[in-house]
Structure formats: structure tokens, C-alpha cells
């Protein structure tokens, strides 16, 4: 609590006293009136104590929140990439910086010249915004779909593919509610239902303990009535009238005077009466007429794409698999690799995909990341109609371009690629360092120019692409060059 907060409180009290004495002059001349003032003062003291208790309670809540964040930050900064490799951790970072820190600033009620507030205000200009938080929320939902996870395990932080040493984090009731709200804002009622149902489930169970620590900076109290309101409308939008009616009745049991719910109740009952033949008993949610599912997707390759993500892609026959080998490779006795050949593995035969192991050192990787990080910008794609580079919702990453002239490590990597592949890097594009965020993806696309894109890569003056080299340097960084 800053000095301004204390001063403001006392100013209110003195203003009240001054007004009282002005309205009743010469009070000292009457014991009766003075007696009244004693009770006024007693009431003011009681109010003052309430104010002090509220401030102390607020400080205690802030302290608990700060202590929790202190522990979390210590764990997170030990290995930031591993920590953010857990998508829930990445989403909650977006949410904390975009929402909770701003709410904490308002809660502190301190003089803006205070060191903490000044520092926070300056730093907030670099914080993620609503769009960032929304993007992170959509990424969690994308992961939920792609890997066929359920909201229960996702909320608990039990995600496949993460090592046992990875920091774990769970989604609170408020988190699940926020995820549902983002889906709702996109008119994605299927995922609204999933996340709101999870929020309601955790709320009924008491919610994760984390909610208690963060309640001090929660702007909106998440209650069952609010969640049920979203749920009833979302399932109605999916054509599930019985489920909508059921959620509406549950809402009204908690808040009988809820205006919208009372209107919806009549409307849903009317619609169901029109739908049912005379005498047919009502069906319950989950029975006939209640089938709901993920919305159809525009991307024809979506099924295969997500299967590959899950490791469920097409499989080779044993005979075809037997023709793939691992070997030491010197590129026809290239002087650089005669003594120290590289490890080459056949990844696929048609089209030919080769994997090379241990091509760049850890030191080189870190140097490339250092060079790229200050330049990272939202990745763009070439519009197939206009040819203009623009961001796209299906490419979730940032990228930077590094020329060979900028640092010896870039030149060495370029030369190494040329020596191993035999391709001429003088006609290759600059190294592109791609950094993927939470739920990062690049949906199926072609790297080369197709027949309906005659002007693609025209500005490069090097012709169409014939090969792409990718260096996977971590779970989040990829170095790409195309020739």
C-alpha cells in the first residue's frame, strides 16, 4: 500500500467530519448533540478499522501472490525454453502479463511516483496484449484437438510427450473460463462447451488451490451462474435443445430471477414442444438428437496433418522399410568429410527425405539464436493471389533472416550445407531462423512455386526452389534454408 492510498483514506474521513460540523454549528453548546457525535466518531473508528483490515488483507493477498510468482519465476528461469515448452505454462504467462499484472497495479493504489508502480508502468508497454492472450488460448485449444486430449488431463497439466522433469502447471477455474470465452468470441461453440464444462467441473470440485493465491487480482469472479449461462447458449447454438434446457434449469436453481435465463427457458421449452410428436417423452442430454462434435475444417489435409503430429502417419511396408539405411557419408570423398564423415539416415524414400545428425554444435546454435532473437518478427506467407507477404493464422511463429556476411558462424553453416548436399548456396536464400511459440504450427504448404504462382520468388532472381534444408536446434527453434 503506497502513501497515496493512506492519504486518500484520511482525506475522505476529514471531509466527512468537516461537512458534519458545518451542518450543525455550535454543537459544543449541547451535550445532547455532542452525545450524537460520540456515536458518529465511534462509527468512523469502526469504519477506519474496517479500512485498515481491508488494506492488511489486500497486502496479505498481494504478498501470497508475489511469493507464488517468486517461486514460479525461479523455476521458470532455470530453463526458460523447457518451461515454455509446456503449452499451459506459456498460456498462463500470457495471461499473467496481460491481465493479472494490470489488475495488481490497480489493486496497489499507490502514488504513480512510487518506484514499483513507475517500474511496472514502464515495463507494461512491452507486455503482451489481449491479442497475445487470445492467441495463446487458441493455441491450447489447437493442441487439445491435434493430440486428441481431454480437457481434464489438459487442465491437470498431464500432457503427452513431455519429460518427467518438465515443470508442471495446471489450469484453474478462471483459466478454463477464459479459454471458453475466447472460443465463444470466435463463435466456436463446440470448444466453448468443452472449456466451460471443465471450468464448471473444477468449480464444483472446489477448484485448484492456485485460484486461492490469485484471487487478489481476479477482475471477474467466475461463478457457476456465469458458466452455465455460456454453456446453455453454446449447446443451443449446436442444436442441442435438451442440453440447453438442462443447463438453463440448473442456472435458475442458483439464480431464480436471472432475466435472460428465464426468457431462454420459455423459448427452449417452446422449441422442444414444436419438435416432439405428441406424447413423446423428453430426451436427456447425451441421448438422441444430442450429438455434437468438432466443427468441420476447411483444410483438406487436416486429418493427415494431425495424424503426423501424433505419430500416426502413413506407414511403410516392411519391404519398403528394409531399403532405408543409416550410413557415414562423405559426399563422394569431399575433402572436409573424408576423415570425419557425417551421419546420414534415410528418413523417407518418395519423396527423398534425409536426416543428418550432429551437424552444428551447441555453441553455434546458441550464437545463431543470439543473432536472431533481436530481429524476430511475426512470420509471413506469400499471398498466392497478390504475392504480397502477410501474416497468417495458420503460421504461428516468428522468424529472422541471417546473411552469411553478418557473422562467421552463419557463413560456416552455409558452407557446411553446401559441402554436405552438393547444392550451390550462392543461389540459396538467407538462413531463416524460425521460433515457434505456444501451440506453434505451420499448416501443410508447398515450399516451391506451383504452376498457378508464376511470379513467386521472382524478386530473388534465383528461380524456383528445389530443396529445403532444416536444422532442428531445439523444440522451438528451426534454421531453414531453401535452394
Least confident of 137-146, 242-251, 468-477: 468-477
- Is the model's pLDDT at 174 over the cut of 70? yes
Residue 22 or residue 388, greater confidence:
388
Partners of 398 in the β-ladder: 378, 435
Q: What are phi and psi of 403, to 5 degrees?
A: -90, 155
Per-residue pLDDT, averaged over 291-298, amounts to 69
Of 290 and 11, which is predicted with more confidence?
Answer: 290
Contact 81, 474 (CB under 8 A): yes
Among the ranges given (63-67, 179-183, 336-340, 341-345), the one the predictor scored with the smallest mean pLDDT: 63-67
Name the pairing type of β-strands 353-357 and 468-472. unpaired
Contact 400, 377 (CB under 8 A): yes
Q: What is the structure's pLDDT at 217?
A: 40
Hey, what's the cell of 242? 435438451
So what's the pLDDT on residue 298?
66
Other CB atoms within 10 Å distance of the CB of residue 479: 24
How far apart CA 120 and CA 101 sit, in angstroms, is 8
Asked if residue 264 has a cis previous peptide bond (ω within 30° of 0), the answer is: no
Q: What is the pLDDT of residue 344?
A: 95
Identify the pLDDT of residue 416: 93
Amino acid at each position: 500500500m503506497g502513501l497515496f492510498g493512506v492519504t486518500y483514506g484520511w482525506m475522505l474521513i476529514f471531509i466527512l467530519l468537516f461537512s458534519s460540523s458545518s451542518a450543525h454549528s455550535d454543537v459544543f453548546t449541547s451535550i445532547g448533540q455532542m452525545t450524537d457525535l460520540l456515536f458518529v466518531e465511534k462509527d468512523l473508528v469502526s469504519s477506519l478499522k474496517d479500512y485498515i483490515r481491508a488494506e492488511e488483507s489486500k497486502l496479505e493477498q498481494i504478498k501470497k501472490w508475489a511469493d507464488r510468482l517468486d517461486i514460479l519465476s525461479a523455476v521458470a528461469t532455470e530453463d526458460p525454453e523447457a518451461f515454455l515448452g509446456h503449452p499451459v505454462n506459456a498460456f498462463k504467462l500470457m495471461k499473467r502479463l496481460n491481465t493479472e499484472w494490470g489488475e495488481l497495479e490497480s489493486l496497489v493504489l499507490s502514488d504513480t511516483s512510487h518506484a514499483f508502480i513507475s517500474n511496472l508502468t514502464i515495463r507494461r508497454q512491452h507486455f503482451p496484449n489481449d491479442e497475445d492472450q487470445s492467441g495463446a488460448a487458441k493455441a491450447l485449444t489447437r493442441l487439445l484437438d491435434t493430440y486428441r486430449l481431454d480437457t481434464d488431463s489438459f487442465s491437470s497439466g498431464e500432457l503427452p510427450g513431455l519429460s518427467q522433469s518438465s515443470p508442471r502447471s495446471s489450469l484453474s477455474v478462471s483459466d478454463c473460463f477464459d479459454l471458453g470465452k475466447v472460443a465463444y468470441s470466435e463463435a466456436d461453440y463446440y470448444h466453448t462447451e468443452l472449456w466451460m464444462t471443465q471450468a464448471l467441473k473444477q468449480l464444483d470440485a472446489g477448484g485448484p488451490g492456485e485460484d486461492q493465491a490469485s484471487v487478489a487480482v481476479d477482475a471477474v469472479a467466475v461463478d457457476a451462474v456465469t458458466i452455465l449461462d455460456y454453456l446453455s447458449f453454446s449447446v443451443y447454438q449446436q442444436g442441442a435443445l435438451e442440453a440447453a434446457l438442462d443447463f438453463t434449469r440448473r442456472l435458475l436453481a442458483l439464480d431464480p430471477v436471472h432475466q435472460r435465463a428465464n426468457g431462454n427457458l420459455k423459448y427452449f421449452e417452446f422449441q422442444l414442444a414444436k419438435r416432439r410428436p405428441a406424447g413423446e417423452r423428453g430426451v436427456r442430454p447425451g441421448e438422441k438428437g444430442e450429438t455434437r462434435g468438432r466443427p468441420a475444417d476447411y483444410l483438406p489435409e487436416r486429418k493427415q496433418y494431425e495424424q503426423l503430429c501424433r505419430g500416426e502417419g502413413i506407414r511403410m511396408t516392411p519391404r519398403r522399410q528394409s531399403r532405408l539405411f543409416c550410413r557415414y557419408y562423405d559426399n563422394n570423398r569431399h575433402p572436409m568429410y573424408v576423415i570425419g564423415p557425417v551421419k546420414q539416415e534415410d528418413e523417407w524414400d518418395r519423396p527423398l527425405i534425409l536426416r543428418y545428425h550432429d551437424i552444428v554444435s551447441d555453441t553455434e546454435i546458441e550464437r545463431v539464436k543470439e543473432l536472431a532473437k533481436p530481429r524476430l518478427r511475426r512470420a509471413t506467407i506469400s499471398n498466392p493471389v497478390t504475392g504480397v507477404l502477410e501474416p497468417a493464422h495458420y503460421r504461428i511463429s516468428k522468424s529472422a533472416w541471417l546473411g552469411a556476411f553478418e557473422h562467421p558462424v552463419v557463413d560456416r553453416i552455409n558452407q557446411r550445407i553446401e559441402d554436405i548436399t552438393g547444392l550451390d548456396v550462392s543461389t540459396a536464400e538467407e538462413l531463416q531462423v524460425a521460433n515457434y511459440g505456444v501451440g506453434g504450427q505451420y499448416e501443410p504448404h508447398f515450399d516451391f512455386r506451383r504452376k498457378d504462382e508464376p511470379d513467386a520468388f521472382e524478386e530473388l532472381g534465383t528461380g524456383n526452389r528445389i530443396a529445403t534444408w532444416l536444422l532442428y536446434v531445439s523444440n522451438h527453434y528451426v534454421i531453414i534454408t531453401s535452394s
